[in-house]
Structure 1
């Protein structure tokens, strides 16, 4: 099964995503050339990008970046990290990237080019079955691993809220209604950001793509309905968790901890 998804364009359709299984690599640069014949390659058509600028290597739950530039430092940002990022120096091989979703930024002749990389197989221990006491063997991971401190959980909670409040047949909130509901805890939320998180949740929770999504037709309403149905069926969001939508000390989507091992920004 795939572990890493490269998204060349923001909010791009599923057909534009490049999915990598553990052990697979993806080269990126201005052109593939003969050197990458038969290998997967992401073309970035800009004169300021090296022909073979770098490589992404997928593992089970994270990815590593090789910077093939001889002069340019690359930056990998955590879009939810309040400025959290790592710097990958010229010539660095296999720098591990710990973020569940990241933005790779390439300096190119006075411009900053970027594309996103998702790592949806970040798993989390079940606090009930894995309470922190030592037990031999592999820990149990959740069937639907969700990080409740991330913005995608805020979006999922806002989508589920009407039905969790006792209206089982309530219509799902529109994008504008979701934005209004998130304003106390996420003032900068917009249509593109909400849709981005819905698309990511569909990948994270491994929803099957409906035929209309593959063909490029309307897809958002069906995806929202599938997400809410799955979340309510398996208690991925509970009514007592809707406090995350209220401003206050318990607000979710706090910045993640800074990366270690000298790779993080100082």
Structure 2
């Protein structure tokens, strides 16, 4: 999970939760694992509970409705009303929007584990949790493909593209791409693939285990889905 930036501080540390762990958030630190120091946030605002393939959101405020949106989707979102406990959130990564005295505060939640049927589609396969499960329709995969492209094109020792070069490579199919969105997706890939988020580590793993293959480079020219980011 990535909390909103503190007042005057743009740094956004990551908070990791194992399945079954719970994180309470609210205006002040006592009684909360995450303090959001804004006068419009309830003292006990809510709680996030991690599960194996999804997560739960409890809205502990008395009057505010929270919206959970999928940044990479086509406007998909759910509403969690005041007092609602353990609402399941199925999105792979999400943005919780907290209305706070005229401001909108965002907490971003990344859920890297998704179960898949063994052997692909069908009704008789066993469910497993792939170590490196990716969705090739998402923007994070296009960013990863752009990072891998020079080495997939035939030079295994090619230097990795800079963030600016990734931006330019993706712009034809993603006109709104920026350094910020590319860096955000690189950070998400680090969480999803259980790495440090460094480009060299991401590319090395992606190529070693065929997470990205040469025929995946078609995503670099495919129009990206509409999104809020």
Of the candidates 90, 106, 126, which is equivalent to residue 114 of structure 1?
106
2:22 to 8, 21, 25: 25
1:44-100 superposed Cα distances (whole Å, 9 cap, x missing partner): 101111100111111112111111111111111111112211111111111111111
Aligned to 2:137: 149
Match of 2:155 in 1: 167
Distance in 1 between the 2:117 and 2:171 partners? 30
Give the structure-1-normalised TM-score: 0.78
> Do the aligned residues in 1 keep the contact of 2:116 with 2:127 (CA within 8 Å)?
no
Question: 8 Å contact 2:4–2:105 — kept in the other structure?
Answer: no
Question: Which has the bigger relative contact order, CA under 8 A and spacing at least 6?
Answer: 1
1:236 aligns with 2:211: yes
Deviation at 1:255, TM superposition (A): 6.6
Aligned length: 223
1:181-231 superposed Cα distances (whole Å, 9 cap, x missing partner): 111221111111111111111111112x4xxxxxxxxxx7xx101111111
Kindly tell me: are residues 246 and 110 of structure 1, through their superposed partners in 2, closer, same or farther at Cα, counting changes over 3 Å?
same
Task: Give the alignment partner of residue 199 of structure 1, picking from 187, 192, 197.
Answer: 187
Aligned pair in 2 of structure 1 residues 246, 94: CA closer, same or farther (>3 Å)? same
Equivalent residue for 1:217?
Answer: none
TM-score by length of 2: 0.90
Q: 5+ unaligned residues in a row in structure 2: which ranges?
A: none
Match status 1:84 vs 2:84: no
Choose from 119, 127, 133 the match for 1:139: 127
